[in-house]
Amino acid sequence: MQTIEPEKKGRLMRQCARMVSYICVPYAIPLVAVTLLLFGTYLNNLPLASRFSLLGIIAAFTLLLPASAIGLYMCLHKLKPSHFHTRKNRFIPHLMFILSYIFCLVIMIRMRLPWYMTGIILSVLLMLVTSLIASLKWKLSEHAMGMGAILAGLVYFSAWYGFNPILWLGVCILLAGCVGTAVLILGNHTPSEVFLGYALGYACATLGLTPGFNILVLFLFRLIH
């Protein structure tokens, strides 16, 4: 029986961990969540063009525009993705994503979308701001924060739509374990940074999906405008 050499086994584990890290990028949470709402709930009665227009706006402001800006920033400063593993170099990318999410939130509020949709954007925005503040001292795992936010969102929407979330919770908890293991294998974070990321991600999503908090944000937005 052929055995895998330790070096090849370690390299294979790192490749799998890197793949999990790329697939479970936390910035895709709003696009995936809103897609599920638009095509898996009563919102699928909306015109198809309207649904795709909304998804296009979300994809542009949560993924395409900030990713393009960061790519340009990397070219101008001759940076590689590995450089963002340090707290110092993570500040500007964080700020770019935060600004783009703020624009997305403003547009969605102007479109008078249901508060729980803007709540999804608000949840990830809170997560990004928390991660930015924490980066002054720590280097929290954004992947772990994203998984914590997904678990909180699943708990909330299961109560909102009245379905049994046990199966999906099991899947998400298993996926969260895989993501946490992946970032540990890659050596990007310590166990404490991963566990704290889970907790803060869950807290941010819980606050972002609270009706009262969304009403307060909407009230402040109307005061400004």
pLDDT in tens, 72-122: 877 877 766 655 566 666 778 888 889 999 999 999 888 888 888 899 999
The predicted structure's pLDDT at residue 112 = 86
Say how far apart CA 189 and CA 164 lie, in whole Å.
34
The predicted structure's pLDDT at residue 5 = 59
The model's pTM: 0.85
The predicted structure's pLDDT at residue 83 = 57
Residue count of the chain, please give it: 225
The predicted structure's pLDDT at residue 71 = 82
Q: Running DSSP on this structure, what letter comes out for residue 44?
A: G
The predicted structure's pLDDT at residue 1 = 44
Alpha helices of the chain — where are they, by DSSP H?
6-23, 29-40, 48-59, 65-77, 87-110, 115-134, 142-161, 166-185, 191-208, 211-224
Say how far apart CA 204 and CA 187 lie, in whole Å.
25
> Which whole-number Å values give the CA distances from 182 to 16, 44, 141, 148, in the listed order?
8, 35, 11, 15
Say how far apart CA 122 and CA 209 lie, in whole Å.
8
